[in-house]
Amino acid sequence: LETPDIDSETPSSNTFIPPSIHTPALLSGSSYTHSSPLPSSITSDPTVPCILGVDEAGRGPVLGPMVYALFYLPLAQHHSLLAETHEFQDSKITSAATRSDLMRAVCTSSTDLYENCGWATRVMSARDISAGMLGKNNYNLNAQAMDATIALIQGVLDAGVNVTEIYIDTIGRPETYQKKLERIWPTIRITVAKKADSIYPVVSAASVCAKVTRDAGLEVCWEAEKKGAEEDQWWGSGYPGDARTKVWLKRSKDPVFGWGSETRFSWGTAKEMLEGKGEVKVEWAKEEVEEENGLRMTDFFSKGEGEDELVDWFGKRVTEEMEVF
């Protein structure tokens, strides 16, 4: 991962809160998807060729969600509307105020962006990211990102949008990623490239949707978490290299449970703090806990000699004839 610019990655206190922020899901640590209404320029003519771009925000932080976003509009308006009229650029070189203004325009019904463009986000919670990475089957971050991208694109296609071109900021090797997507959608022109957010305006627009949603999500989580904390106790950008983030992690850590659903336990920063000296060690039992009579829960479902009534009954399909007890 590239070293992030901490200042540009830090949410501002007046970040626009877009409709992609579902507060109950966010605070509960759940992942979710948000889709905008189809723009009138597309509903009025479903056959119009459209271009679609995908980008993400928050891949590297130890705090908060990772957000994948897509943006689409009629192909004929790609450069004129996004690059010339509104000057979309990569969100990392766009100021927080400009990002918020652009996102507000995308979400305001009286604007040309609202009438001609659609967008969607997949908010991947810190809890779910860590559960996948630390699980038995090691659902790594690249695989999670790929699945989120595919699901977002398929959602737009299922809605009836005539997507003819797709541009995506790469995950890993562009060639491998692109070939996989071309096998899924062989009739669509697909381009996967490094720095796509600085090359294709539609990907730049997607990067703004992703970044503003991530910033707003982090801000909403902080408002629920701070509990009277002073401004100098703020958790900052959420990146491991941010001193404010490290201070918050150390100060707020529970010696047994660590942190809440806002923290990615699979990140090295969190692991090292949990495994440091003086921490409470927890070892989870691998076998079922025995009761006082020496029986385990699985014993009730194990068929022994001469035991067939309950085991057989629960093992039969409901369509089979059963004895009434």
Give 316's pLDDT tier (boundaries 50, 70, 90): very low
Q: Where are the domains of the chain?
A: 22-223, 229-275
Cα dihedral 31, 240, 238, 149, rounded to 10, equals -30
Pull the structure tokens for residue 117. 């463009």
Give 224's pLDDT tier (boundaries 50, 70, 90): confident
Q: Is the pLDDT of residue 278 over 80?
A: no
Is 5 annotated as ligand-binding? no
- In terms of Cα–Cα distance, which of 122, 293, 150 is closest to 210? 122
Task: Give me the pLDDT at residue 52, please.
Answer: 98
Phi-psi region at 252: left, alpha or beta (left = phi > 0; alpha = psi -120 to 50): alpha
CA dist., res. 313 & res. 310, Å (int): 5
Cα 132 vs. chain centroid, distance in angstroms?
12
Q: Is the pLDDT of residue 186 over 80?
A: yes
- Both ends of the chain: CA-CA distance in Å? 64
Q: Which residue has the tokens 């325009």?
A: 105
Is 45 annotated as ligand-binding? no
Pull the structure tokens for residue 220. 């909403």
Helix H or strand E segment including 82: none
Pull the structure tokens for residue 295. 């029986």
| 5-19, 287-301, 310-324: least confidently modelled range | 310-324
pTM for this predicted structure: 0.82
**Taking a C-beta distance cutoff of 8 angstroms, is the pair 203, 55 a contact?**
yes
Is 56 annotated as ligand-binding? yes
For the segment(s) 22-223, the CATH number from 3.40.47.10, 3.30.420.10, 3.40.50.300, 3.90.550.10 is 3.30.420.10
DSSP reduced 3-state for 139: coil
Q: Is the pLDDT of residue 198 over 50?
A: yes
- In terms of Cα–Cα distance, which of 230, 219, 220 is closest to 11? 219
**Span 229-275: which CATH code?**
1.10.10.460
Task: Give me the pLDDT at residue 78, please.
Answer: 97
Mean pLDDT of the chain: 85
CA dist., res. 200 & res. 205, Å (int): 9
